[in-house]
Structure 1
Amino acid sequence: MITLENDQLIVKIDEHGAELVSAWNKEAELEYIWYGDPKYWGRHAPNLFPIVGRLQGDQFNLAGETYYMNQHGFARNMDFDIIENDVDHARFRLVDSESTWRVYPFKFQFDVVFDLKGTELFMKYEVHNPDKTNSLFFSVGGHPAFNLPLDGGKFSDYYLSVKPEKVYDRIRLVGPYSNPNVPSPFNADIPLRLRQEDYHDDAIILKLDRQKATFLLARLANQHGMEMTVDNAQFLGVWTPAGKDAPFIAIEPWWGIADTVDATGNFKEKFGNNVLAAGDTFTGSYSMNFF
């Protein structure tokens, strides 16, 4: 377990999955990151790579071969190497190996970087393609979950507001698969009041189109909350498990999305995938301000 600390926050990160497991605000004496109670959901803030969401039949095709991969990919279940570590900075790294080639036949270097500044935690995903000739196809995303209620009230007392305030496309899920061809409007002029019953069809997904956006999680007339700024993501998911009355909400920046309802299975044609030329590096970033 790696600990980052300054005068405002204590942050803990598990090498397994490079997963954020705690963000403790010293002055407020509050824990913001979901405790990971397996009764509801046993994770805290997994990093999703090399897919986000589910593949049709949990499989994809590439160069005439079929590969099998579970929802959200394998990175969240693997131990990362600690490449850099200081009092307020850490870099974790996962690289391809014989075990990853069996489910994902690409060379890659996946770094998760944490920087602590005041009450804000900056997160960065760097995906590098070390191959000298072949392109790298992938998705990546965050899945941080936050305790609710945070400091009083009940789940439904909290809301999520979005800036810029405009009408976003909402991508609906049909079972575990996305249906981007039939979006519905999401009016961000009105804050989203959190209600458990809104997640019976899984996550609420907004299309961000790689435009910077800020999401404020708070309770009316209350001083504590979390503000997430997403720099360049394609999508953002809001999720709590249906039918469990779980005391948390996940706010998830994604550079990729689940297979579409009409996916062909060809990984090079997968909707939302990123493509890196040989030798290139991708960067996706977001921050969380715990106030």
Structure 2
Amino acid sequence: MIRLTNDYLTVLINPFGAELTSVKSSDTEYIWTADKQYWGRHAPILFPIVGRLKDNQYQYQGETYQMTQHGFARDNEFQVDSQTDDQVTLSLTQNSETLAKYPFKFKLTVKYELRDHELSVSMTVTNIDEKEMIFQLGAHPGFNVPFNPFEGGFDDYHIRFAPQKDYTRVPLKPPYSDPDDTSTVDLRKPVELNHELFNQDAQVFELDGEQVTLLLGNNLSETGVSVHIDNAKYVGVWSPYPKESPFVCIEPWWGLADTINADGNLEHKFATNRLAPQDKFTGKYEVTFF
């Protein structure tokens, strides 16, 4: 386990999946504990897809490939490229197993940098192939709700959006996206958390690459987190249903699950990104803990 520290926070990162597993101040654990009765992960990295493929498969250049939800990065060991007391860079490149699922040569680099009360996370995809690369990317950090046992229950928490305005919501017809049935949601007021909110899976909002901050907290204490998203197309807010799970995920996404009418062709896939050979793409977010 990789440990980053400064005067305010201690951060643990698992090279398996390059997954953030803990962020602690003196008396608070902010990151979900991965209790398997609810959800056995902390903050997986989603690559090269976000969400689920129709029938867990797709076609590319006449071949059919199998891939399960959220891709394979979260289930691969990353190499540690560099490390200091307050930052670490890890990377994953293609191997025989990934090429059987995803026929592209790539390098996925994940950098964690601790600055005072803030953890910066950047995920860079490099196309090291000789052909254009089609991919999606996402983060999936889970936060304990409540942060501490004496700070209320799940229904006492809310998420505030900044800027406060109308956002487009993309519904899920679990487990697929339905971008033809979007609605407008007024997020000038907080999203009050309750488990029924997730009875159709995640709440997904279009960000269109704008800088947006989501603040998770309550009115009973000053403990909370703010997630500043630099350039994502979407953000997902999720907690398992119908389990009454004591955590919520705030997920910057550069992609979405297949649509309900997807034809399975990767080149037609909804909400993808494309990289020319040798080009790079970086998705970034920062979390402030208070």
TM-score between the two structures when normalised by the length of structure 1: 0.98
Q: CA deviation at 1:14?
A: 0.2
* Partner of residue 3, structure 2: 3
- Structure 2, unmatched stretches of 5+, are none
For 1:96 and 1:165, locate their aligned partners in 2 and report how far apart those are by CA, in whole Å: 41
Displaced runs of 4 or more, over 3 A: none
Q: Percent identity, aligned pairs only?
A: 44
Equivalent position amino acid for 2:216 in 1:
L
Q: Distance in 1 between matches of 2:38 and 2:283?
A: 29
Local SS of the residue matching 2:180 = strand
TM-superposed CA distance for 1:222, in Å, is 2.1
Match of 2:58 in 1: 60
* Distance (whole Å) between structure 1 residues aligned to residue 96 and residue 248 of structure 2: 36
Q: Which amino acid aligns with 2:176?
A: Y
Match of 2:142 in 1: 145
Distance between the aligned counterparts of 1:250 and 1:36, measured in 2? 12
Which residue of structure 2 lines up, in the alignment, with residue 40 of structure 1?
A: 38
**Equivalent of 1:134, from 108, 131, 134?**
131
Alignment match, 2:12: 12
**One-letter amino acid matched to 1:140:** L
CA distance, structure 1, for counterparts of residue 54 and residue 95 of structure 2: 25
2:99 is equivalent to residue 104 of structure 1: no
Measured against aligned partners, the alpha-carbon deviations of 1:33-56 in whole angstroms (never above 9, x if no partner) come to: 000000000000000000000000
2:236 is aligned to: 237
Alignment of 1:165-204 (within 5 A): 165-204=164-203
Asked if the contact 2:152–2:220 (Cα under 8 Å) also holds between the matched residues in 1, the reply is: no
5+ long unaligned stretches in structure 1? none
C-alpha displacement at 1:221, in angstroms? 4.5
Q: What is the RMSD of the two structures over their aligned residues, measured on CA atoms?
A: 0.7
Following TM superposition, by how much is the alpha carbon of 1:25 offset from its aligned partner in structure 2, in angstroms? 1.1
Shift of 1:3: 0.3
Aligned residue identity for 1:110: L
Q: Deviations over 1:202-234 (max 9, x none)?
A: 000001001100000000142110000000000
Question: What do residues 91-132 of structure 1 show as CA deviations (whole Å, max 9, x unaligned)?
Answer: 11000011111010000000111000001000001000012x
Give the secondary structure class of the aligned counterpart of 1:33.
Answer: coil
CA distance in 1, matches of 2:278, 2:146: 45
1:289 correspondence with 2:288: yes
Aligned residues: 288
- 1:61-92: CA deviation from partner (whole Å, max 9, x where unpaired): 00000000000000000100000111001011
2:88 equivalent to 1:90: yes
Query: In structure 2, what is the Cα distance between the partners aligned to 1:88 and 1:270?
Result: 38
Alpha-carbon displacement from aligned partner over 1:242-268 (angstroms, at most 9, x marks no partner): 011000001100000100111111111
Residue range with higher mean Cα deviation, 57-66 or 178-187? 178-187
Q: Does 1:227 align with 2:215?
A: no
TM value normalised by structure 2: 0.98
